[in-house]
Each structure stands twice: as structure tokens, then as C-alpha cells.
Amino acid sequence: MKILIIDDERAIRNSLKEILTDEDYDVDVAEDGAQGVDMALKERYSVIFCDIKMPNMDGIEVLDRFAAEGVDAAVVMISGHGDIDTAVECIKKGAFDFIQKPLDLNRILITIKNATDKVTLISKTERLASETTRLKKKVYGQEMIGESAPILKVREMIDKVAPTDARVLITGANGTGKELVARTLHQKSMRSQMPYIEVNCAAIPSELIESELFGHEKGAFTSAVKQHKGKFEQADGGTLFLDEIGDMSLAAQAKVLRVLQEKKLSRVGSDKDINVDVRVLAATNKNLREEIAKGNFREDLYHRLSVIVITVPSLDDRKEDIPLLVNYFIDQICSETGMARREVDTEAMRMLVDKTWTGNIRELRNVVERLLILSGSRITADDIRAYVY
């Protein structure tokens, strides 16, 4: 845990740092409010101790800056001139607690523990809300459906790899379910209670990908009106899924390689290193070895990402799973939309199995939804001819 001490009295800040360092906390110090604000905007602190009476920028002004800049640390105000009105004002402005000098070690340690518990609770609540929202979204394949040999092999690989921190490269054609494999790896990992962050590298313009992944400081470029934490920081302690990694620019690839090697990053517009603990999963529909030969992808990054390679089979390679998938999608779509469930005639199912699925599972789900909307009380061979072929 990182702690920041802001106090203009050298003896107090140094003695407090020494005490907390002896308690195994990672402690930084700032000699005035302006320096403290600058440090809090560049580094992530769990708890900040801030003196109230300081020249130039006092503790109340520091609190106001923290609120304006979105600093999410628990701020504990300290003062030798404390009174009830000052304490109430600090709490109203977002301070976690208020303690008076001379500082009592037991009170300080209890305050840190309480602040940490609160930050942890807030973090868990936000993750739960984010996960709930994600699960409510209409996405195909919340479960890995199928009993074919290729899909059983994928499941076996996931079960072996998920509990480790090994990086995984997931390959396969569009629509095969690479995102589902990544989510399942996270859910079965030791990081399942921590953030799971997805990034579609192909959907982000090349000039913005570095800011999106690594964050930026306020003023780093024209539209950077405030500090922004990138996806790596957001995923700290959890899993970062880099989808369509083959479309990432070479400049961004170099920075990703550094994070994987050193477990630290620097935001755009800053030269300060930030430590991160992230498990990286990546996916692509491209042949990365061919991209390496063309000079489009770094070979050293490929070897960093491909500790384990999981290839997701196309739907045409697991046709025996199509009836299971069709029925699964019928149940799912009818549950989501309130439509009456329809059965699929034997001939209609055979035609679906025989079809070539260039769009894989994503295409199959779309076809099932179309049939549910347009067919009668049952899905027949005539419906397949009319709305599929």
C-alpha cells in the first residue's frame, strides 16, 4: 500500500514516514500542498495524510484540488490547531478523517486500516456493479456450449491454464468466441474478483491507442483536460484482454512489451513509472507469424504474449455442436425478448448443420434470432430456405 504525507514541517513528515515504513508501508513525502497535489496526480495512493496549516496552499485548498481532479485516495487531515468547525469542514469536502497533533501511533494505524477497508469496499462495490452491468448486456455465448472434440480440447486447456498467471494468445476466425475464452480464463483464475478490462485494439484510432492503454496526464495534448488512467492501470490486480492485438501500431506494441517485461508503465505526458500487476490475454484473427514477416508485428512481443496459445475452432469444424447451440440461442433470445419458444423441425436443423458458417457462432446467433422473428409456430425447412439460404 502506498501512503503520501503532506506536511511543511520536516521533522513531522520524516518521523511519520519512518514510523509507517517500519510498519511495511510504502511512503512518499511532500513538503507543501502544491507538491503533494502534483504527486497525487502522478501516483496512486491509498491513503494521504495532509496537514491543514501550510503556507501558499493549505490543506483545505489541497482537498478542493483533490476533489476537482478526481483523486480517489482516503485523505486524512492532521493539524495542531484543530477544532470542531475545521474538522466538519474537512469531512464535508471529502476528507476521510481528521486527527490532531501530537500524532498517536495507534490512532494513525487504526485510521489507515479503516481507510483501507473503506477503499476496498468501494472498489469491490464498483467491480460488482460493473460486472452486473456487463452480464446484462446482450452478448452471445455466456456459456461455452458444445461437446465436440475441438471444444472439449479448448475447455481442457482453459482448466489447466486459468489458475496460473501465464499469458495466453487466443487465435481463431471472427465470431468463433475468442472473447468468451478470455472471459472464462479470467472467471476461473485467482484474479476473478479483480477487474476484467477489455480493449478492442482495432476499434481505437492509432493516435489514441497509447493514451487508452497507458493513460495520460492533464495537458499532455490538446484535448487532455484532465488526468486519465489507462486500461493497464484500470486492470491492476486483474486481467487485461487485448482483442485484435494484430491491429495494434508498432509504437504501442513497443510500450506493451515494456509493461510485460518490467511490470511498469508511464502515462502519456509523464516520465514517472507506475507499477502494475496485470495478467494479459490477447486475441487475434490474423496469422501473427505472417505479420512478423511483413514487419507489422514485433516478434519479441509475440513470444511474450504466446506463452500459451489457444486456438478456437471455427463452427464448420464443430458442426455436431450446432443443434446444441441453436437450442441454447433459442432459449436465450426468448428469455431476453419475451418471445414464445419455437421448436426446430428435423429437416430444418439438418439444413442448419449443413450450412457453411463463415461468420461462425456470431452468424449462427443472428440467424436464430431472425428465424424466431420471421417464422411461424415452428421453424421449418421452408423458413430456412426463405430466410437463411
Strand 168-171 relative to strand 97-100, pairing: unpaired
pLDDT digits over 70-103, tens only?
A: 888 899 988 876 667 777 788 888 888 888 888 8
Mean pLDDT over 218-242 rounds to: 87
Q: Which set of grid coordinates corresponds to residue 44?
A: 496512486
Q: Which set of grid coordinates corresponds to residue 261?
A: 517485461
| Distance in angstroms (rounded) separating the CA atoms of residues 123 and 1 | 15
Q: Say if residue 142's pLDDT is above 60.
A: no
Q: Say if residue 122's pLDDT is above 70.
A: no
Residue ranges of domains in the chain: 2-117, 149-313, 316-387
CB 32 within 8 A of CB 40: no
Domain 2-117 and domain 149-313, same fold? Reply is: yes
Please name the residues in contact with 331: beta carbons below 8 A apart, sequence gap of 6 or more: 341
Query: Which CATH code is given to the segment(s) 316-387?
Result: 1.10.8.60
Q: Say if residue 130's pLDDT is above 60.
A: no
> Considering the chain, what is the average pLDDT of its residues?
89
| Distance in angstroms (rounded) separating the CA atoms of residues 298 and 264 | 19
Domain 149-313 has CATH 3.60.20.10: no
Please name the residues in contact with 327: beta carbons below 8 A apart, sequence gap of 6 or more: 344
Phi and psi dihedrals of 45, rounded to 5? -115, 140
pLDDT digits over 23-61, tens only?
A: 889 999 999 999 999 999 988 898 999 998 888 898 899
Q: What CATH class has 2-117?
A: alpha beta
* Residue listed under C-alpha cell 479470467: 186
| pTM for this predicted structure | 0.65
